[in-house]
Amino acid sequence: MPNTIIIGSGSCIPTKVIGKDYFMDSVFYTDEGDRIDKPNEEIIQKFIEITEIENRRYLEDNEYNSDLGFRAAEKAIADAKIDQEDLDYIIYASNFGEVNHDGMTNFMPSMSARVKNKLGIKNRRTVNYDMIFGCPGWVEGMILADTLIKAKKAKLILVVGSETLSRVTDEFDRNKMIFADGAGAVIVKATDEENVGIIADSTICDNHAELNFLENSPSLKKDEDRRPLYIRMHGRKIYEYALKYVPDAIKETIDKANLSIDDIDKILIHQANAKMDYAMISRLFKLYGKKTYDHAVAPMTIQQLGNSSVATIPTMFDLIKKGELENQSFKEKGNIVFASVGAGMNINAIVYRFP
């Protein structure tokens, strides 16, 4: 049975840096629709203390989701040194598709088809596939790619994660300060080499009481137009859910690979909230009887890039691989974990071994 290895990566980080001053004139409301009667400086500072997000990146007015995805894909193809006409699949993870300036989402044509078009791929056998799976979408795209390769349905696949969350946030919601834009992509290839690439994975979908922990809903300001829908995050419920289930899911995947936490060199976890990420990793290590851990094992980009949903993990992977994330690198023949949690609620994890 063939294995799935990453042979190239790329990312697109928008150049527009959005700092705390951008939100100083905002008017914030509670989930109950009441105006928050506190100075914005205090609201923003409290937000930074909890999330550690000081800056985030927004795309330009003349850019769209598929533009970011295309740039990341183009870099990944160049890095892999392949002929893009040889791609069997393009898997594109996003949650809102091609969002226009009014926040309207558009999935027709699909995002994967748009990127295939922008890349200029003529091969009619290059199949386009969109993955809508919440923030874990890129990781799930990788799991799908591995399934296709192991089933011998494909040998070469482009997996993209790209999102433009700045266009789907409610201007009256404090949580808008979490969200950002960006794209990351990898090229994966079938190999006959044993015990390399994706050596274990797991996916959990809790879609009952947890279904609407992340949802779309009208503005928190009750006298605003009720027709537009914005991303709404029920932070406390998500935090409690993530701490309860994500560490176990990661451990299950590591166990499935017949490894221990000591065998894992890096954990690339979805960058949603620094406080939540620290807590999840700490709890993971406690499952192995370890009270502390070296924070270098779980790199963070959220402080300067914000939460770009499906793009956070592939972007972080690309930055480390290219030596662009300070004091971070991958070990030759090392083991790393990709893990994410998000809307649905869905959790997934992969153990990946470098060839």
Q: What is the pLDDT of residue 11?
A: 98
Can you tell me whether residue 6 is helix, strand or coil? strand
Cα distance between residue 304 and residue 2, in whole Å: 38
pLDDT tens per residue across all 355 residues of the chain:
999 999 999 999 999 999 999 999 999 999 899 999 999 999 999 999 989 999 999 999 999 999 999 999 999 999 999 999 999 999 999 999 999 888 888 999 999 999 999 999 999 999 999 999 999 999 999 999 999 999 999 999 999 999 999 999 999 999 999 999 999 999 999 999 999 999 999 999 999 999 999 999 999 999 888 888 899 988 889 999 999 999 999 999 999 999 999 999 999 999 988 999 999 999 999 999 999 999 999 999 999 999 999 999 999 999 999 999 999 999 999 999 999 999 999 999 999 999 9
Count of CB atoms within 10 A of residue 279's CB? 16
Q: Walk across the sheet containing 346-353 and list its strands.
A: 197-205, 346-353, 335-342, 264-269
Q: What is the pLDDT of residue 226?
A: 86
Note whether 29 and 173 are within 8 A (CB).
yes
Task: Please determine whether the domains at 3-195 and 198-353 fall in the same fold group of CATH.
Answer: yes
Residues 235, 214: Cα–Cα separation, whole Å: 9
- 101 touches 61 (CB < 8 A): yes
Q: Which alpha helices (DSSP H) does the chain contain, by range?
A: 40-51, 65-80, 111-119, 137-150, 235-256, 274-287, 302-305, 312-321
Q: Tell me, which fold does domain 3-195 have in CATH? A: Peroxisomal Thiolase; Chain A, domain 1 (3.40.47)
Q: What pTM, to 2 d.p., does this model score? A: 0.95
Of residues 183, 132, 123, the one with CA closest to residue 154: 123
Q: Which residues contact 99 (CB under 8 A, 6 or more apart)?
A: 64, 65, 105, 106, 164, 167, 168
Q: Where are the domains of the chain?
A: 3-195, 198-353
Domain covering 198-353 in this structure, CATH number: 3.40.47.10
Of 10, 25, 22, 96, nearest to 58 (Cα)?
22
Q: How far apart are CA 153 and CA 89, in angstroms?
A: 10
- Return the pLDDT at 225: 87
DSSP-derived secondary structure for 99-166: --TT---B-SS-HHHHHHHHHT---TT-EEEEE--STTHHHHHHHHHHHHHHTTS-SEEEEEEEEEGG
